[in-house]
Amino acid sequence: MSDLTSPMSLAGAGGARRPRLSRWREPSILPGFGLSIGVTLAYLGLIVVLPLIALAVRPWEIGLSGIWRTLTEDRVAAALELSFSLSAYAALVNAPRGVLIAWVLVRYEFPGRRLLDALVDLPFALPTAVAGIALTAIYAPNGPLGSLAAQVGIKTAYSPLGIFIALVFIGLPFVVRALEPVMQDLDREVEEAAQTLGASDLQRVAHVILPTLAPALISGVTMAFARAVGEYGSVVFIAGNMPLKTEIAPLLIVIKLEQYNYAAAAAVGLAMVVISFGALILINTVQLLLARRGRR
């Protein structure tokens, strides 16, 4: 793949750039740009920006040193590391599984396909607490899967592995649902053209299908990651919540709140937002580069 990447991205960087002016007020035949952008900004401001500002203002009560002290506490640092690393692993593990499941659901016709399709949505629809309790019941040392794992000496529930399982569970639909529409639109003729030009099956997957899916896959994985970082309901049941070992960052926020330590709770929350936002920007940039490459 690397032999293809470099010339393409170079060409993409030069070719896709358009005059700056046309970015603002895209010409459109539909009227109402002013009104709709106004409503959009007001709505986003009220629903998204205002709470974020409230969150960003709160920690300063304890000052920069207070925030730093909070974030470098052993427990806070360990919880942040645990939350972000496990969320990333879970999202990455969901990527190949999500591609496979979406592929099966889109490309093949078989009895029960619609049922299977609906099942994918279940982690979306299930209240997270219910998911957490169900997963715990299965993976607890006395549960059907947990007892099997225990026999070979693997601890599932009440360990980081348990948290990972819960995060994989809740993240899966994001990846599948992001991929499905793109897969449905995949032009079969392009694949057939590749085949007539002598591409092997592997080459078709690697050079035709996967590059087309990449932006959707990345956005699905990103959403799964973002969701996993903030996930609370299902994880607290299966985590065991041991300080420094299986305490996730959202739980630590709740613990700080229980102690009426609003500022410290907001500091942890702010740190999570900043890290998540940084990750999202990074991923969006990668996606943009890929999209440009795709456009050429």
Partner 1 sequence: MTNPFANLKPSRRHVLAAAAGGSALIGAPALLAGAAEAADPLTLLNVSYDPTRELYKEINAAYAAYWKSKTGQPITINQSHGGSGKQARSVIDGLQADVVTLALAADIDEIASRAKLLPANWQSRLPNNSTPYTSTIIFLVRKGNPWKIKDWPDLIKPGVGVITANPKTSGGARWSYLAAYAYGLKKGGEAYARDYITKLFKNVPVLDTGARGATTTFAQRRIGDVLLSWENEAYLTIDEFGPNFEIVYPSSSILAEPPVALVDKNVDRHKTRKLAEGYLNFLYSPIAQDIIGKHHFRPTNAQAAAKYASSFKQIPLVTVNDTFGGWTKAQATHFADGGVFDKIYKPS
Where on the chain is the footprint of partner 1 (CB under 8 A)? Answer: 73-75, 129, 136-137, 140-142, 157-158, 233, 236, 240-244, 251, 254-261, 264
> In angstroms, what is the minimal distance from the CB of 267 to partner 1?
12
Helix (H, G, I), strand (E, B), or coil: what is residue 158?
A: coil
Structure tokens at 190: 């392009």
What distance in Å separates the CA atoms of residue 123 and residue 127, rounded to the nearest whole number? Answer: 8
Query: CB of 3: closest distance to partner 1 in angstroms?
Result: 48
Output 62 or 93, the one with its CB closest to partner 1. 62
213 versus 248: smaller Cβ distance to partner 1: 248
CB of 79 to partner 1, least distance (A): 12
Q: How far is the CB of 229 from partner 1 (least distance, A)?
A: 19
> Which candidate, 129, 112, 109, 132, places its Cα nearest to that of 120?
112
Q: Which two tokens stand for residue 54?
A: 């409230």
- Is the Cβ of residue 59 or residue 98 nearer to partner 1 in the bound state? 59
Decide: 238 and 158 in contact? Cβ < 8 Å: yes
Residue number with CB closer to partner 1 (158 or 169) = 158
Residue with tokens 């991205």, as numbered in its chain: 9
Cβ–Cβ < 8 Å for 223, 201: no
Interior CA angle at 185 toward 184 and 187, to 5°? 115
